[in-house]
Structure 1
Amino acid sequence: MQKLLVTRNAEMMKRLHTYLQRRGIPVTVSEHGNQLELWLTQSSYSALAKDLINEFKADPDAAEAELESAPAATQPAKVSASMTQQLLQQAGLVTIIFAALVSLIFALLNTQLATAVFDSLRISDTFTDLPWNQPWRFLTPVLLHFSLLHFLFNVFWWWYLGGRFERFYGSTYLLIALVFCGVFSNVMQFMVSGPYFGGLSGVVYGLFGLAVVVSWQRPRHPLFLPMGLIAFMLVWLLLGYTDLLWVSVANTAHSAGLIAGLVLGVALRYIEYFRKKKQIS
């Protein structure tokens, strides 16, 4: 992520954001206090983005008119990109690598190696002992998925929430969120049900809770979630505690992951607050 512009002029920012997107530049707008920030999500577009911004600032009307009159074939619009390119643009390196790893494990769980893979990745071999001598097991259950629907649901939300989070906050923060939410949700689920569980749902709900907190009352924040989506995730969480679903759900992992994400979200907002306060002083 690279910050390109800061302004209080909402109308100008809206026009510039639209102009750059129509030029095929991957940008997003965030809100901090009474200021709007324009961010570039892919550094490879940096030089072109700066040139276009300067061109737009010199004469916004002329820049927009030139765009309207340009032949459609000469505009590097996103719509001409392949579906794969568009998907990759929505994620960072950690998001992509971890999604690939989860996919690989799911494929292996549907082969003759399934038992060996499960035994090596589950949190513990007993119902009482945490794996202090094999600490990676605190996290590895997030790689396990036992049905196609379970796998697709979690990978989709990991890509959607994790990708947006990584693009805005960076890979390090996503790794911290992954480990913290994953370990906490796994340990809580183990305490309730023993070692026979798996899934990325605790991390997904952690990222969901984190996104809600950091974007609360900040509708232009890149992680802002519409109320309908928030309602869906919460209703799905509550349905897990009923007998209405056709699958077994690791409810404790979902709830624990959500709590962990809310805590991280509060911590991140404090970090942002103190950084901003330091910059002002």
Structure 2
Amino acid sequence: MRHIGTIPDSQLAERFQDFLIAHGTKCRLDDEVDGVAVWVYDDDRVPDARRQLTEFLEQPDSARYREAREQATTVLREEAAKRKAARRNTVHLSQQWSRPPGAQAPITVVVILACVFLFIQTDLMQNRDLVLRLLFSTDRTWAPIRNGEYWRLFTPALMHGGWLHIIFNLLWWWDLGLIIEHRRGSLRFLLMVLTIGIVSNTLQFVFAGPFFLGLSGVVFGLFGYVWVKGKLDPSDGLGISSQTAMWMLVWFAICWFGVVGQIANWAHTGGLVMGVIFGSLSALWRQVLSRRG
């Protein structure tokens, strides 16, 4: 915060404060012996504010200064509404963790349990029959799904090959799934997860065949959703740090370049695209509702 000058008359000082607020400059007035000191919070706005103060002192009764009160009131009202919305959308951790995870995010927990169970059965115990029952297809055709085995559209996402594979995916699933389910509700979260999983698995099957496993397509979908929501609709309270987003996108690119071996890259791509679409539509819908309100 920087001091930009002093105005002798308190009414004129308030008029200039209104003008600054109306133009997006946050400021404060302090009474002093020789008048009212004007302070500007943002250092980047100090040069412009000093210039505006000089112009104001030359013509304090100009219409643009007299009319600033109404504009400033509008700005302050909008800022108050944003703060209220942010408080409403803030997740209080003390409340969030006062209930067991199964109560606040049952879908997130159930998926983890399903992945662990299937990992024991298919990877550790080598239950090949179960693997064949859960793969997208066993003969590279759509025949199993056409015959009514619709679970195959999603179940490849619940199987993993190796400790690093399942640990990596479930850690990300826990971080992203817990907060999204807590904020969006279990039903909406379930529908989102199923849609992302089915689209990402189908894309992988069409372009690379049926032999793929893992939750990473869904994880990239959840990442895309939170990432876009944070960019387009930050007041909703969902978001991800720039460093984390960069790390995920770099990992996405590394996987496509084949540096880490055989990866279900089409599933990653389909999941990420679906997450971005869901996040964009959600942000757009909230904007429509706010305008109606």
Unaligned runs of 5+ in 1: 1-30, 47-77
The percentage of counterpart residues that share the same residue type is 28
1:37 matched residue in structure 2: 87
Number of corresponding residues = 211
Structure 1 residues 189-208: aligned runs within 5 Å? 189-208=204-223
1:271 matched residue in structure 2: 285
2:63 matched residue in structure 1: none
Q: CA deviation at 1:220?
A: 5.8
Mapped partners of 2:225, 2:150: distance in 1: 25
Mapped partners of 1:134, 1:186: distance in 2: 15
Mapped partners of 1:102, 1:263: distance in 2: 26
Cα distance change on mapping 1:272 and 1:252 into 2, 3 Å: same
Cα distance change on mapping 1:126 and 1:166 into 2, 3 Å: same
1:37 counterpart letter in structure 2:
R
Mapped partners of 1:32, 1:117: distance in 2: 54
Mapped partners of 1:174, 1:115: distance in 2: 31
1:175 lines up with 2:190 in the alignment:
yes
1:108 lines up with 2:121 in the alignment:
yes
In the superposition, the TM-score normalised over structure 1's length comes to: 0.67
Structure 1 residues 84-233: aligned runs within 5 Å? 88=101, 92-129=105-142, 131-132=145-146, 133-216=148-231, 218-219=233-234, 221-233=236-248
4+ residue runs over 4 A deviation: 31-34, 39-42, 217-221
2:133 counterpart letter in structure 1:
S
Q: CA deviation at 1:41?
A: 5.3
1:197 counterpart letter in structure 2:
F
1:62 matched residue in structure 2: none
Give the RMSD, CA atoms, in angstroms.
Answer: 3.0
2:152 counterpart letter in structure 1:
R
Q: CA deviation at 1:97?
A: 1.1
Q: CA deviation at 1:244?
A: 2.1
Mapped partners of 2:253, 2:137: distance in 1: 27
1:254 lines up with 2:268 in the alignment:
yes
Mapped partners of 2:173, 2:220: distance in 1: 9
2:185 counterpart letter in structure 1:
G
Q: Give a deviation string over 1:218-248, Cα, whole Å, max 9, x none.
A: 5564321111000000000000122321x32
Q: Give a deviation string over 1:167-201, Cα, whole Å, max 9, x none.
A: 11111121111111100000000011211101101
1:13 matched residue in structure 2: none
Mapped partners of 2:105, 2:218: distance in 1: 17
Q: CA deviation at 1:88?
A: 3.0
1:276 counterpart letter in structure 2:
S
Higher helix share: 2
Contact in 2 for aligned 1:90/1:160 (Cα 8 Å): no
Cα distance change on mapping 1:208 and 1:250 into 2, 3 Å: same
Q: Give a deviation string over 1:2-46, Cα, whole Å, max 9, x none.
A: xxxxxxxxxxxxxxxxxxxxxxxxxxxxx985642335758x959
1:57 matched residue in structure 2: none
Mapped partners of 2:249, 2:132: distance in 1: 32
Mapped partners of 1:163, 1:252: distance in 2: 25
Mapped partners of 1:229, 1:214: distance in 2: 15
Q: Which has the higher contact order (CA 8 A, sep 6+)?
A: 1
**Greater Cα radius of gyration, structure 1 or 2:** 2
Q: CA deviation at 1:111?
A: 4.1
Q: Choose which of 244, 252, 256 in structure 2 pairs with 1:237.
A: 252
Q: CA deviation at 1:208?
A: 0.6
